Amino acid sequence: MKFSMTDVTADAAGRIVDGSPTEHITATEIWTFLRSPGGHWILSAIQQAR
């Protein structure tokens, strides 16, 4: 999965301490799903990819 997001960390007062509310970053993740025979699919792992 490849997506774009804003990544911001704010303190308890709402002040931004890391990141930018206007700058988008792109991330890529690899999602792994498992399913037992006849069962439902479940998300079992998420990995950050480069």
The full set of domain ranges for the chain reads 2-49
**What dihedral do alpha carbons 10, 25, 42, 38 form, nearest 10°?**
160
| Closest CA relative to residue 31, chosen from 19, 45, 50 | 45
> pLDDT tens for residues 1-21?
999 999 999 999 999 999 999
According to DSSP, the β-strands at 8-10 and 42-49 are unpaired
What pLDDT does residue 17 have? 97
Q: Is 90 exceeded by the pLDDT of residue 50?
A: no
Model-level pTM greater than 0.75? no
What pLDDT does residue 14 have? 94
What pLDDT does residue 30 have? 97
